[in-house]
Amino acid sequence: FLVLLLGFFVVQVIWPISYSVETLILVVFTIGESCLHGRFLIVFSMVFAPVLARLRGRWLRGYEAGKDHAYVNAALIAALVWGVFGFFPSDARLREGMEQIFPVKAVDYLRHHDVGPRLYSTDLWGSYMIWALSPRRKVFIDGRLDIYEYAGVLEDYIQIKHLTPQTQFLLRKYRLSACLVPRGEILETYLAALPDWKRVYSDDMSVIFEPDKVSE
């Protein structure tokens, strides 16, 4: 992204092109938002593509539509369409890819077992869990960390995740009915050592703990 911007600015300085005010406002806005939020890059791409095409167009002034080869163009388009459909991953391949990043098996467990409504989990898995479990279950936090900061949830999440003296108090404050944590995380070791929490599920990626109702 930064290399593309640098290249564009250098070319613009050497071979300047005038743009409308509306275009400049859109480009500057999407650049600023992309610097703040990586997810905005897709919007930047849509806005920047026509700008880049116009800059590239100065080298295509000799283009003559009459010299186009319709059959060659059609073959290229057909090859691109075949590539899109031919290489599109199957459901099995998508699931295999997700299992390497997200707690797919643990979420399957949550679908078939009632572990209560108040589930703690890591922000890295929040978006997947919204997609996989909504609207049956809400997440504790997801990757949009800024929206959780205003109510103090982000600070509490950090305290729980990194195991501070406030962790035990916060587990009770939110009346958590289960915790889904990554395998090997310090919180897993902590919950496993507490007498009032029990492990109800585990796999190579994640572990689920529930409060021990007998101990309560």
Q: pLDDT (tens digit, 0 to 9) for every residue of the chain, 216 residues total?
A: 999 999 988 988 888 888 889 888 999 999 999 998 888 999 999 999 988 888 777 766 666 667 778 888 899 999 999 998 888 888 888 888 888 999 999 999 998 888 888 899 999 999 999 999 888 888 899 988 888 988 889 999 999 999 999 999 999 999 999 999 999 999 999 999 999 999 999 999 999 999 986 444
Q: Cβ distance 210 to 178 under 8 Å?
A: yes
In this prediction, residue 213 carries a pLDDT of 66
Q: Which residues contact 118 (CB under 8 A, 6 or more apart)?
A: 140, 174, 175, 176, 177, 178
The letter for the amino acid at 37 is H
* CA–CA distance, 199 with 216 (Å, rounded to integer): 15
For residue 147, the surrounding DSSP H or E stretch is helix 145-149
Residue with tokens 């609207």: 135
In this prediction, residue 212 carries a pLDDT of 82
Q: Cβ distance 124 to 143 under 8 Å?
A: yes
Instruction: Report the Cα 47 to chain-centroid distance in Å.
Output: 21
* CA–CA distance, 33 with 11 (Å, rounded to integer): 23
* CA–CA distance, 144 with 157 (Å, rounded to integer): 13
Count how many Cα atoms sit within 13 Å of the Cα of residue 92 in the half-sphere of its side chain.
0
* CA–CA distance, 127 with 131 (Å, rounded to integer): 6
Residue with tokens 């938002």: 33
Would the pTM count as exceeding 0.95?
Answer: no
In this prediction, residue 61 carries a pLDDT of 63
Strands 178-182 and 206-211 turn out to be antiparallel
In this prediction, residue 215 carries a pLDDT of 45
Measured between alpha carbons, how far apart are the two ends of the chain, in Å?
53
The letter for the amino acid at 30 is T
In this prediction, residue 78 carries a pLDDT of 95
Burial group, residue 195, by CB count within 10 angstroms (0-12, 13-18, 19+)? exposed
